[in-house]
Each structure stands twice: as C-alpha cells, then as structure tokens.
Structure 1
Amino acid sequence: MDSLFDLHPLGPTPDDLERRILKLQKINAALMQRVERSMDQQANAYSLFQTAITLESQVRLRTEELSSALARLERTNDELSSARDVSERANRFKTRFFTAVGHDLLQPLHAARLSASALAEAADDDRQSTIAARIEHALVTIEELLKSILDISKLEAGVVTPALRPVALDDLFASLALDIEPQARAKNLSLRWRHSGLAVVSDPLMLRRILQNLMANAVQYTDRGGILLLARQRGEGVRIEVWDTGPGISDADRQTIFEEFQRGTAADRPTIGGFGLGLSIVRRMAEALGHPLGLCSRIGRGTRFSVTAERAALPDVASASPAAPIHARALGLSGARVAVIDNDPGVLEAMQALLRRWDCDVYAARNLADLGGADKPDLILADYHLDDGRNGLEAVALLRRRAGSTVPAIVITADRAPAVADAVRALGCELLLKPVKPAALRALMQHLLSQVPQAVG
C-alpha cells in the first residue's frame, strides 16, 4: 500500500490525492460511526441507570407501603381476634342465659298452670269455675308470649343451631294432635291428621315448633269446620301441609303476616288475641332449617300453610310389642299409682294436688334418696333437672330396676336442648316440655297406662 510519504519522483498525481482523500473520508466515517455507537451505548446505559434508580425508588416506596399495610392488617387481625373472642364469650353467655331464663320463667308458670287446673276441677260453683278459667286463660297467654319471646331472642342471638336427623312424620303428627286437640275441642273444631309413612331430614324440635305454631294459628283463626295435618311426597322432598277452614288471608296480608306484630285483617276481631309473633317464628326457624314455606288461601274458604323438607328413610325404631289388653283404668286415671320426682316444692305440691283430683295414688319425692317408699308404681313423672347434678332419668332407671319392668315414664323439663330429648328417647320415656298443659298430661298418662309394661331383660 502506498504511504502518504511515498512520493512520486514527480510528486503525487491528482488521482493519487483523490484516492487518499476518499480513503481518509472512509476512515473518518468509520471512526465517527464507532464514536456515535459508543455515545449511543453510553446514553442507553445512562438511561438504564436512571430507570434503575427510579424503579429502585418506586420499589422502596411500595415496600414501605406494603410493610405499613401488613402492620395495619396485623393490628386489624388482632382486633378481629379479640372481637371474635368477645363475641364467642357473649354467645356462650347468651346460651347459658337463655337456657337459665327459659327454665326459671317456665318453672313457676308450670306450677301455676297445674294449680289453676286443680282449682278449676275443684270449683264448687259457676263463679269459681269462671275465675279459674280466666286464670287459666291468662296463664296460657303468658306462656305463649314467653315462648315466642324466648324463641325470637334465641334465633336473633344465633344460639339455635339445627341438629338435622331423620324425623318420622307419623309419630310427630300424633304428638302434635295430642297437644292441639284440647284447643280444637274447646272451639268445637275437628282435628284430623293422615298417616303417610314418610320421614324428613330436619331438626325434630324446631320442626315440631314450626308445625305447632301453624296448627295453633289455624285453631285460633278458625271458628267453624276443622284443621287437617298431612304430608305429601313431592319429588325428592316432602311437603307438610296444615289446612284450616278459617276466613282466609287477603293478597295484601300475605306479604306481611310473617313479620313481627302482624296478624292480618282477620285479627281485628275481638276474639283474636296475641302479638302476631307465631308466624314470624315459623319463618325464622324455616329459614334456619332451609325448609321453604308455602301459603295458599281463599277468602271465606280457608288457608293452607306448607313447609317442605328433604325426604329421608324412616329412622330405625324398636319393634313394637304385641298389643296388650287395655286396663280398666284406660278410660281414666282412678287408682293409678304415680311416682312424682321434682326438686321444686311448688311444682311438686301442685302436681300432687292435680293428680289427686284425678283420683291417683301419688308418691312424691324431691330427689333419688326420697324414692325409698315408691314401690312398683304404674307410672313415673320425673323432672329432668334435679339437685346435686342428678336428673330424672336416673330416678326412672332406679324405679324400673326395683319394679323389674319398664314402668312407663314421662320426663318433664323446660330444657329444649336436643341432647336432652335424645337421652329421654334413648331410655324409652315420653317427653313433655314445661309448662305442661294438664289436658295433654292427662291424655298421655291415659295412653301409657293403657299398655301393660314389659318385663326388664
């Protein structure tokens, strides 16, 4: 290659100079491109550096915000945990409170109703009978109001938790008819129920309360005709229906009768009392159970309330014993030996007075130690809660062992806990909830005394 210093003897020619100029221009252009690329790379690096700094600041800011949010969340969680603990303690207190209040309120009312019934049967003239009837009516009103208030309070407090299990409807219907029949008879209404052989998945106590309220409501609003209770299979469910021949419910009232203190236009009649809480309790309990409610009514013809539950297989029950001959006292209670166990002196005295009015031979005891003189009773009436942590089922078991037979027994309690009902059922006893209706007690006693006790294993 020629150098710039390789001079031609005669000096560089124009072509040589032109070639060298072009070569230098190319070298200069290449150097400029290299410089420009280097500058671009430096600019990109600086831009990336600036971006990294910005991102780092943003990350630091977001990290601080996240740390602050986590700290606030931890404080909130601590507050929620504390509030949950307070709520759980409050709910446990409410549960104990409502259980105690229910027992303490219904216990004296139970004694008062027994005493009023004995007073009515002992009345010597119409004036005394009228006074006794008014007392009984007032006590019934107080009882229904207290039950409604306690039911609504328990539902609002969330202390009522459904215990779902198979419920045989024929047994439930028979028991409900026994409870409602005195009210229907007092108004000259017919009361019928149909055998279905069906069972549903439900809480037995809550379902009973729903149907009891619907039937009592039907009796209250019906002046002529009667009440019908039945169940129909509908697909995978069972629809339980309560029919009446009352005045019917208008379209306007159907939207409000399930609310508190709403009784419909028919309630404007002087014969209708109460505070309109029954159907509100029905709605709340049905919602808690997941049982849809239905209503069909025609003015002047009557009303059908319904509640639908999932169908279940019939629960296993002990095989029924062969039909036993009916005792002569099946038509009454005269001469029946009845052992009564109750730790409340007032209730014990009132029960003795009532049973003696029914011509029963009564043996009364306040605890298990006092049962020494109870020799082979025909029937046992036992309060569930006794002193010193004992219960009436222990008294029943003791008397049955002594008698050597399954003496029929009725356990009476204000405790509506499912565990109590299960324990009573497991021992083969009947259950009555306080305050006991004397007519229902007498009917159940007559039914039990009409059967011969079976010998114990």
Structure 2
Amino acid sequence: MNDEEDPSEQLPSRQSDLRRVVDKLRKINAALMKRVEHSMDQQASSFSLFQTAINQEAQIRRRTEELNLALTKLAHTNLELSKARDEAERANVFKTRFFTSVGHDLLQPLHAARLTLSELSDAQHEADNKRLALNISTALVSIEELLTSILDISKLEAGVFVPNIQSVILEAIFEQVANSLEPVARRKCLRFHWRKTDLAVRSDPLMLRRIVQNLLANAAHYTEAGGILLAARPRGDDVAIEVWDTGQGIPEQEQQRIFEEFQRGSASERLGSLGFGLGLAIVRRMADALGHRLELQSRVGHGSRFSVFAPSAAALAGARLPLGVSSNESNSFFARQVIVVDDDLTVLAAMQTLLSRWGADVRPARDLEDVGDILSDPTFSPAIVLADYHLDEGIFGIDIVRRIRRRLASDIPAILITADRTDAAAEAAMRSQCELLLKPIRPSELRALMKHLLG
C-alpha cells in the first residue's frame, strides 16, 4: 500500500502557487491599466487638439469674414475717393478753362479804360481832377494785378504752366522788364539800374520773365526812397539773378510767410499798402516748377535781396534781341506813322486818341480789308504796327503783321497786344519777331516799348 500525501502538507504549496498567479495577474492588470490610461490620455489629447482646431477654424472664419467686410468697405471708399478726385480734377480743369476763357473779356474793358483814363489825365489841368484821375488809375491797376495773379495761380494749380526749358539770354529779359519798371521808378523818384550781362541760363523764358517782373514790382512797391538794382552773377554751375532794394526790409520771422498766398509783411501795413500778397507766391510757385532755387536776404531798415538761381548756359553766338528792340532808346517817336488794328471800336478809338496825343499819325483798322485800304495810300508808310492778337473771324494780329510786312517788303517793328496769357501766344509772337504786351497795357509801358522799337 502506497503512502498518500498529507493534505496539511500540500496546502502551503498551493497557497504559494496562488500567490504567484495573483501577483502575475496584478502585474498584467497594472500593465493593462497603464495601457488603457495611456490610450485614454492620447484620446483626450487628440480630442483636445480637435476641439482647438475647431475653435481656431471658427476664429479664422470670423476673421476672414471681418477681413472681407473691411476689404469691401475699403473698395467702396476707394471708389468714392476716386470719384471725388475725378470730380475735383474736372472742377479744377473747368476753373482753369473758365478763368482762361473769361480772362480776355475781363481784361478787355480794363484795357480800354486804362487808355481812356491816360488821355483824360493828360487833358486835365486842375489839381483835383488830376488827383481823381490818378485815384481811378490806381484802382484799375489793383484790379488788373488781382485778375492777372488769380489767372496765374489757377494755371499753376492746374499744371497748365509746363516749363519749356531752353537757353535764355538774360540781357534780353532784363531790358524788357526794365521798360515796365522805369515809369514806376520815375514816379516814385527811385533810382533804378540794371547791369548789362552776357550770361545765359537754362530756363523757360516766359516764366523767368514773369518771376523777374514780380520781384521788381515787389521791390518798387515796398521801396519809398533810394533805389533798385537788377543784376546777374555767376555762382558755380548756376547764375544768380538778383533784385536789390533799399526798402523797409523784412523781419526774419516773416521771410517764409511772405511767399504764401495772400500774405503780406508788416512793412505793407506800415506803408498802408493795398497789395494782395500774390506776387511773391507766384514767384515761389514758378521757381519750384522750374527747379530754380529761391533765396531771400533782408535787414529791417536797410533793404532786401531776392535771388533766383538758374543753371548756367553758354550764351548763343550772335544772339540778338527780338526784331526792332534796340539798346539805344530815342527820346521821342513824335510824327511817326502808326497802324493800329483792333476789332473793338472802343479800344480802337482810345488807342487812336492816346497815340495822337503823343504826336503820332495813326491809322486805325479792324480787319485785313481796312489794312489794305490804308496801305493803298502811297503817302502813308507805317513805322510800326500795333495789333490785337485775337481778331474776329479767326484772324490773328500776326496775320495782319505778316500781310503788312509782305506788302511793304520790310520787317517793320510790330507789337501784339492781347489778354491771352498762354505760352502759345508768346511763342507765336516770338516766332514772328513781334513784341508782346498783355492787356490791360500801361500807357507808359507802351510808350517806352515804342521808343525802343522806333529808336
């Protein structure tokens, strides 16, 4: 008989096996729990990322909608601004065309009035009547200066003044502007001197002439005693065109402001000046358009010096002044025969009376037919022609001058008188070797120019 194991001895062995199994199951369970927890963490992280992505997508959608809305508003705003800009440009062009169109009509009656008033003033002998005539003349000059300045400002704003850069001989410009200033200087008992020069610059001749004219007019306006000097000096690669005066001077704090529109210095108030403060504004704008540097040096109580710096240019060999302009001025043109052409009877009558009072033998004409009748008289040989630039039926004063010159086979001097301030009119006069005077003309200026041409 085999001996059987005692159950009491087998119990510890089983318990030990069970413990090992339980430990193993616990380890497996722990491993499984770690995997489950890791998987749940990953799922939670993925869900969190998913939620974040959804939120970011929503934010991007909202921002995109806001951006699209802003772009739409910006497009509408740009369209409105573009329309407003186009309207402003059309209005500016209309304004310029309006001023240019009405310029002739506005200045024509002033032209006739100035001529008639000159005749009236010469005919007066009583001091009170002369004083009244002088007051009227001063008022007409103020109106003329204001209209001319407004026309220039409007053209500069609209960009109508397009510089025609070329070589410009300064002596020709100096002599022309001196003719305009000399009567004013004599009336105010000022010494006026301009220095002859062989210098030339690169500039627009018409705009440069207007700059020098305005600077001289400003100097004469604010100078009560002493004198005015116009000169040109080489300054490196430039030429400095200088206008000196012995006027009141300009305080340093005002030296920039006086170049702004409708600004006048304290000297204007002291002198009781009625100027409009546009002359120097036009100078600055034209100098900017030409690229010319503008400088001012002034001392209160001593005077001022305005300088315009233009690029130097070699003077043209054999260059001469326009036809008939002579550097030797004669003292008189009395008893000279003159043809005056104008389609305005009022202007024609005033011009005939004025020139006749100066002693000239005047023959008035309104058109080519009248000119033909005048030239058919063998006893009449005109020494000079004064012609309005724009005549009826599309005829130009230049056409009249050419007809007269061909008929006489002589390049007799001619002056074109016009309210047309365009470059085209000035260039046409220059090509035809005619002088140009802008309405309303000053009788003293006309007289001085005629003296030069008939010298």
TM-score normalised by the chain length of structure 2: 0.80
Number of the residue aligned with 1:58: 59
Cα 1:22–1:173, aligned 2, differ >3 Å: closer, same or farther?
Answer: farther
- Measured on the aligned residues, the alpha-carbon RMSD in Å equals 3.8
Number of the residue aligned with 2:408: 403
SS in 1 for 2:196: coil
Contact kept, 8 Å, 1:257 with 1:264, in 2: the verdict is no
Cα 1:315–1:380, aligned 2, differ >3 Å: closer, same or farther?
Answer: farther
Deviations 1:295-339 (A, max 9, x none): 333344332222x33414257688449x9999x995432343333
Contact kept, 8 Å, 1:247 with 1:266, in 2: the verdict is no
SS in 2 for 1:177: helix
Match of 2:439 among 417, 431, 434: 434
Number of the residue aligned with 1:420: 425
1:268 aligns with 2:270: yes
Number of the residue aligned with 2:180: 179
C-alpha displacement of 1:287: 5.1
Read off the aligned partner of 1:102 and give its amino acid letter: G
Aligned-partner Cα distance in 2 for 1:30–1:402 = 127
Number of the residue aligned with 1:86: 87
SS in 1 for 2:163: coil
Contact kept, 8 Å, 1:355 with 1:362, in 2: the verdict is yes
Contact kept, 8 Å, 2:249 with 2:267, in 1: the verdict is no
Number of the residue aligned with 1:356: 356
1:379 aligns with 2:372: no
Contact kept, 8 Å, 2:201 with 2:310, in 1: the verdict is yes
Number of the residue aligned with 1:367: 367
Matches within 5 A, 1:55-454: 55-123=56-124, 132-152=133-153, 158=158, 161-163=161-163, 165-166=165-166, 167-251=168-252, 254=255, 257-258=258-259, 260=262, 262-265=264-267, 267-269=269-271, 272-286=273-287, 289=290, 291-306=292-307, 308-314=308-314, 319-320=319-320, 331-375=331-375, 377-450=382-455
Aligned-partner Cα distance in 2 for 1:298–1:21 = 114
C-alpha displacement of 1:90: 0.8
Contact kept, 8 Å, 1:339 with 1:380, in 2: the verdict is yes
Aligned-partner Cα distance in 2 for 1:105–1:283 = 26
Aligned-partner Cα distance in 2 for 1:85–1:314 = 44
SS in 2 for 1:340: strand
Greater mean alpha carbon deviation, residues 390-399 or residues 196-205: 196-205
Gaps in structure 2 of 5+ consecutive residues: 1-9, 376-380
Contact kept, 8 Å, 1:338 with 1:380, in 2: the verdict is yes
Cα 1:100–1:315, aligned 2, differ >3 Å: closer, same or farther?
Answer: farther
Deviations 1:231-259 (A, max 9, x none): 23334443322111234344565565556
Aligned-partner Cα distance in 1 for 2:45–2:408 = 105
SS in 2 for 1:229: strand
Alignment length, in residue pairs?
437
What is the identity percentage for the equivalent residue pairs of Structure 1 and Structure 2? 54
Contact kept, 8 Å, 2:193 with 2:228, in 1: the verdict is yes
Greater mean alpha carbon deviation, residues 184-193 or residues 279-288: 279-288
Deviations 1:201-221 (A, max 9, x none): 544444433332322232233
Gaps in structure 1 of 5+ consecutive residues: 1-9, 451-457
SS in 2 for 1:224: coil
Contact kept, 8 Å, 1:198 with 1:311, in 2: the verdict is no
Aligned-partner Cα distance in 2 for 1:366–1:227 = 41
Aligned-partner Cα distance in 1 for 2:324–2:54 = 98
Contact kept, 8 Å, 1:297 with 1:304, in 2: the verdict is yes
